[in-house]
Structure 1
Amino acid sequence: MPPNSRPLRKLGFLTIGLFDEAAPRRGHESTLEIIELGEQLGFDSAWIRHRHLQYGISSPVAVLAAASQRTSRIELGTAVIPLGWENPLRLAEDLATVDILSGGRLNPGVSVGPPMHYDEVKDALYPDTADREDFGYERVRRLLDFVRGEPATDFRGTEGFEVFSDLVQPHAPGLGRRMWYGGGSLRSARWAGEHAMNFLTSSVVKAEESEDFAEIQLSHVRAFRAHHPDGDAARVSQGLVVIPTDTASPGQRAKYEEYARKRMPRTTTPQGPARMMFAPDLVGTSEEIAELLSSHAAFREIDEVAFALPFTFAHDDYVQILTDIATKLGPALGWQAAL
């Protein structure tokens, strides 16, 4: 275990679930196989990204419903569902249903903001209300209320043979405590803490008080916990792109290094009007990556991770990377497999 770090308690991974437009089933099956492999390797959690009108998984809740029937232990998460595309009441029903099917293993992560390319998609998504939709934190609050058992209507009772509830059904006990907010700003970190959510911090943050990625991420972790009723015990999961090469072939190693090299320029300074900062991808042996993480200010204050798999690699690459994370990097960070 690296010095000056907490032992890693929970080890997870995140995948985007890419597919070929001409053969989408194979890509979805690959994602399910990767989640099954994750459980076999002892990972604590598997997370799916969310992509609309792209060649990545657009319905992670549906995919995780399938994954819940192929696995028995591993926690299943979304990182993250952009709520600008969702009706909070309907999403609450879907989340509760999958949580029931999984035996209480669902960890939904969400975020706010208008849908990407909103001007191009708004007429299809909200043809009558596009200019009146609220894409702020109120959308998350509504979802939390429904998931946590607040009434959705003032009517309940029987009409003929039909019985109606004023609460979202099914109700999934415990799901409200497993809701995560994916945030990259101090404001989001504070809001998530104030509303007793868990906090996902990824490889993208907003440069507000610093231009050092690790310092920025650390400030978010501390702001979240300072505003959470559980204080320092509040759950935070860090999601960096981590690519161990212990058992990689020479060809794989070269591909991984080239991938990281092409993405490196965006990590040096804030990007765009929002001043977004990107973390460098960590490529190397597990020993080398563990050493890099030991000097990462934010990593030293968390004990959960969901390492992100690169977007564009092949299935065999993901198998190698996950196997090395579970059998080499995780133990080097003080983690024990959940087998």
Structure 2
Amino acid sequence: MKKIGFLSFGHWSPSEHSQARSAADVLHQSIDLAVAAEELGVDGAYFRVHHFARQAASPFPLLAAIGARTSEIEIGTGVIDMRYENPLYMAEDAGAADLISAGRLQLGVSRGSPEQVIDGWRLFGHNPAPGETDADMARRHTEAFLKVLGGEGFAQPNPRPMFPNPPGLLRIEPHSEGLRDRIWWGSGSNATAVWAAELGMNLQSSTLKDDETGEPLHVQQRKQIEAYREAYRKAGHTRQPRVSVSRSIFALTDDLDRAYFGRDRNSRDQVGMLDDTTRAVFGRSYAAEPEELVKLLRDDEAIQAADTLLLTIPNQLGVDYNAHLLESILTHVAPELGWR
């Protein structure tokens, strides 16, 4: 069995060809798609977070709304840019969303990706400490977030509070027990995967990563997953960790599928530069008739190594069509691979 979720970037565009023409469209359609996905048997509804863009941001209201409309599907992010986050306020939001969903939150966090604006985190009031990079600041915010999610008191109570306090130091409220074990780190390198393992986080590996060996993405990711699991074991954690990989996968079952994605049949990995400093490998898309798609996916070493697969979706094509794409994978592909 492999868990299968969808990952939406939440794009919107005023174009007449888009079914998501505003932020309101994206939010309402995201809720509707999560409901439809749960009915189909999809395991997770995940959302990317980008600031200053016509894409999904401010994830907790959306996650809470989905949690209130559904009962089984996991809800999460892939990923929240921790350079922008106040760890204590984020812990309050995350605790509330997790309680609303009865413990179904799977929260992906990371250093983030190339931005729409220059040093946007500074506009949110966050600045690296002396000697820190923005990536260092993201990891520092993450460690603070993980610590307060543990639920231990750390704040000195006011001797004359407005409301009576429990004894001892106070913790962040609302606290959701178990959420600390459902935090994922979106890792773009082997080194940060090892760091995430040492802190006891789960691992998310995207459709791109640092090109550290020149090998295909799926091979590099498989080695990254192996390094992560070995580091997790050496750190002495007893909980079984989870690992997800993201892929663009389209089963071509009708003429509309072929019109939209038939051109991706011969897709290949691409190599490019991130931030003018980092060489990265961008993963191919998979688009083929179901029988051929099964053969292609069997050869993807990272998918085989992961316990969770996140399917990136073209959200601007609307709820009904994206539900069709998900149903095609669940019906025609997953059973042949032993995932269902």
Q: TM-score, normalised by structure 1?
A: 0.86
Partner of 2:270: 268
Partner of 1:4: none
Deviations 1:52-100 (A, max 9, x none): 1111111121101000111011110111111111101100110011001
The list of structure 1 runs, each at least 4 consecutive aligned residues, that deviate by more than 6 angstroms after superposition, is none
Partner of 2:262: 257
Moved more, 299-308 or 236-245: 299-308
Matched, 1:218 2:222: yes
Task: Label 1:275 to 1:260 Cα distance change in 2 as closer, same or farther (>3 A).
Answer: farther
Match of 2:290 among 286, 291, 298: 286
Partner of 1:149: 151
Partner of 2:125: 126
**Cα contact 2:251–2:287 (8 A) shared by 1:** yes
Tell me which amino acid in the other structure corresponds to 1:161.
F
Q: CA deviation at 1:327?
A: 1.8
What SS is found at the alignment partner of 1:275?
A: strand
Task: Label 1:28 to 1:288 Cα distance change in 2 as closer, same or farther (>3 A).
Answer: same
Q: Counterparts of 1:115 and 1:80 in 2: how far apart (Å)? A: 13
Match of 2:6 among 5, 8, 13: 13
Aligned length: 323
Partner of 1:100: 99
Q: CA deviation at 1:31?
A: 0.9
Q: Counterparts of 1:335 and 1:297 in 2: how far apart (Å)? A: 15
Partner of 1:168: 172
**1:305-316 equivalence runs, <5 A:** 305-310=309-314, 312-316=316-320
Partner of 1:243: 250
Task: Label 1:80 to 1:232 Cα distance change in 2 as closer, same or farther (>3 A).
Answer: same
Partner of 1:277: 281
Q: Identity across aligned pairs (percent)?
A: 28
Q: Counterparts of 1:232 and 1:302 in 2: how far apart (Å)? A: 16
Tell me which amino acid in the other structure corresponds to 1:74.
I
Q: Structure 1: any 5+ residue segments left out of the alignment?
A: 1-7
Q: CA deviation at 1:114?
A: 8.0
Q: Counterparts of 1:260 and 1:82 in 2: how far apart (Å)? A: 32
Tell me which amino acid in the other structure corresponds to 1:18.
H
Q: Counterparts of 1:103 and 1:205 in 2: how far apart (Å)? A: 33
Q: Counterparts of 1:130 and 1:206 in 2: how far apart (Å)? A: 23
**1:197-212 equivalence runs, <5 A:** 197-212=201-216
Q: Counterparts of 2:162 and 2:61 in 1: how far apart (Å)? A: 33
**Cα contact 1:193–1:225 (8 A) shared by 2:** yes
Q: Counterparts of 1:139 and 1:157 in 2: how far apart (Å)? A: 29
Task: Label 1:186 to 1:120 Cα distance change in 2 as closer, same or farther (>3 A).
Answer: closer
Q: Structure 2: any 5+ residue segments left out of the alignment?
A: 15-20
Q: CA deviation at 1:217?
A: 0.4
Tell me which amino acid in the other structure corresponds to 1:236.
V
Q: Counterparts of 1:88 and 1:214 in 2: how far apart (Å)? A: 33
Q: CA deviation at 1:331?
A: 1.6
**1:71-90 equivalence runs, <5 A:** 71-90=70-89
Partner of 1:182: 186
Q: Counterparts of 1:217 and 1:167 in 2: how far apart (Å)? A: 37
Task: Label 1:167 to 1:320 Cα distance change in 2 as closer, same or farther (>3 A).
Answer: same
Moved more, 204-213 or 147-156: 147-156
What SS is found at the alignment partner of 2:79?
A: strand
**Cα contact 2:29–2:318 (8 A) shared by 1:** no
**Cα contact 1:18–1:28 (8 A) shared by 2:** no
Tell me which amino acid in the other structure corresponds to 2:335.
P
Match of 2:241 among 228, 231, 234: 234
**Cα contact 1:19–1:25 (8 A) shared by 2:** no
**Cα contact 1:156–1:166 (8 A) shared by 2:** no
RMSD: 2.6
